[in-house]
Chain A
């Protein structure tokens, strides 16, 4: 689609062949930036051959404008001024590639997030013009680049054999890639091994574990390493070497595994209340929800009343949000323990699921459910709440700063009493006599400081692993070739853990499927003519093994030169800043390109 206003006949002062394409973003940009003015300004630049606008550059007609101009030989460098490069840089690079050009003769100018969303009127238009001028000046100096290609082991390692780890391993193996499944305990299954039935459908947790484990055992591609921890990690994407330490009868044995990708499926654990929290640890009839679930599996179901610790439970109280949703200044915790300000998400459904099972199996046991909020999110889970009401579970609501008080009691031969200011009874204080108090403890990440430190994986204040981006790259970690699956990322139920596991497996399969990996070419490059082997760059380098000094023969003499391991280089540029000879540059971000950008900004 060509705009009739586009001026293509340039006078002879225009010698560059940069094409500039400016996006309206359907008004997102053009409501605040005068895009025609930006185009006119771009047209006046000596390096620019054509400048065009489009309502949506990312649409097919928008991309086809670029392709046509490249194919006609009209332009040989491309600038798109649109949204953030994280959204569409790859879109336009691939358009350039489809036109038969090198995808790296492309430069992106962000005039939405950095301009129209934060500035208005003439200053917005001026800033957009400046960014476009800088991008065009850089584009003129761009050289074709080629992705760094590294061979990759067609082998992945999954750390943790809970439901997320098992699902990841099975899905990767189905794609014909070998998998090492590393589990620190004696058997796979993780936290599902401690569950009775799964909400909301009531499927036996053991059946799900068995189904996965059977496929794992029958798969020739999956090797399970029980009683094993990862002791050491070396290498880079496609070429990791792990040292696994396995505890066996004859002591510890080390195994070395060459692997192309690593999936963190290290999971979570249930929060352990501190001594005295809701009388936990002080009274044997105060237990956690996981402890209750264990006893459910042990009860025969022939009795009218639930039995816990040998005692008939006539009335029980279940308390939500124990070790979750804590508020600084209101709640306290153990020394050195995290406050756990997040919602653990799974406990509401787990409480109601267990409560329904108890009320339907043991009608002689009545239940008081004390909550701050009920969050039975997800398909089929609100029904658990309705069913609990039908099952005559009595709900009582408390405020964050007025939690229920659990105390020993001798009232009516009940061993415990729970006193609460009940929001559903107009905040009247009431005391519920109980045979049992169950604490719905939250989810905490497993302690993975060892492996997270080795791989330099980022974790939030809550201890969970941080993905690169929750929507754009939800199962990838910033270390290339390392992925995550399941509750090491956030509290989630087993279905959600399996979703992330499937996503991680798909990512791993796509990465390792070809046997080689192509990485962005934006890595350091040594000009061997200029390099005098000072070693300053090696000292400045932030990544182990990415830069080294090697001896080579030049004119019969042995000299030292810097050498880059492209697969490890992060392209940060620390080496560029320290080289006294200007002998090292980052591809795609050379000093010459920077200077051109600065000149363009200064001239604008």
Chain B
């Protein structure tokens, strides 16, 4: 999969580019009540590196999120994972509408 180096910029219109603050500690995934396949850590990492393709492939996962806010509350880098998940939902909807 080829990364999209402009993806972080693209995300600015939905949720800011705070994913670039992430240092991959995994606190968000450890606390997330979904306890599902490194959610939301994996999604945040996809945004950080520009793996837009992977996000679109696994978009269903985004709708599992309860938006409880635990991840955003505890993120040591203030990367705001909850907000990013919300922004990703908007991005996915927007992308599908356009195609």
Which residue numbers of A lie inside 8 Å of B, CB to CB? 314-315, 366, 368, 389-390, 392, 394-396, 411-412, 417, 422, 424-426, 428-433
Contact = CB atoms under 8 A, between A and B. Distances in A.
B46 to A, nearest CB: 7
Nearest to A368: B49
A394 B48 contact: yes
A429 B38 CA distance: 17
Interface stretch (B1-9, B65-73, B90-98): B1-9
B75 to A, nearest CB: 14
A389 B24 CA distance: 11
A429 to B, nearest CB: 7
B23 interface: yes
Contacts of B45: 424-425
Contacts of A395: 24
B23 A389 contact: yes
Nearest to A396: B49
B54 interface: yes
B2 A394 contact: no
A362 to B, nearest CB: 15
Contact of A417 (B2, B20, B23): B2
Contacts, number: 44
Contacts of A426: 38, 42
Interface string B18-42: 0011011000000000000010001
5 contacts: A366-B5, A392-B21, A394-B20, A425-B45, A431-B1
B1 A430 contact: yes
Closest 7 CB pairs of A and B: A392-B20, A431-B2, A315-B5, A424-B24, A425-B45, A432-B3, A389-B23
Nearest to B46: A425
A433 B51 CA distance: 12
Nearest to A314: B5
A272 B23 CA distance: 32
Nearest to B77: A389
A426 B23 CA distance: 14
Nearest to A432: B3
Contacts of B48: 394
A429 B24 CA distance: 17
Contacts of B51: 425, 428, 430
Nearest to A385: B23
Contacts of B49: 368, 394, 396, 422, 425, 430, 432
A161 to B, nearest CB: 42
Contacts of A366: 5
B1 A425 contact: no
A382 to B, nearest CB: 13
A412 B21 CA distance: 26
A279 B23 CA distance: 30
B4 to A, nearest CB: 8
B23 A430 contact: no
A394 B50 CA distance: 10
Contacts of B21: 389-390, 392
Contacts of A368: 49
Contacts of B42: 425-426
B55 to A, nearest CB: 12
Contacts of B20: 392, 394
A315 B5 CA distance: 8
Given A392-B20, A433-B3, 7 more contacts: A394-B48, A395-B24, A411-B2, A426-B38, A430-B3, A430-B49, A431-B3
Nearest to A390: B21
A147 B46 CA distance: 72
Nearest to B49: A394
Contacts of B5: 314-315, 366, 432-433
Contacts of A431: 1-3
Nearest to B42: A426
Given A394-B20, A425-B46, A428-B54, A433 B2 contact: yes
Contacts of A429: 1
Nearest to B45: A425
Nearest to B20: A392
Nearest to A411: B2
Contacts of A432: 3, 5, 49
A506 to B, nearest CB: 43
A372 to B, nearest CB: 16
A518 to B, nearest CB: 58
A432 B51 CA distance: 10
Contacts of A433: 2-3, 5
B17 to A, nearest CB: 8
Contacts of B38: 426
Nearest to B48: A394
B3 to A, nearest CB: 5
A425 B42 CA distance: 7
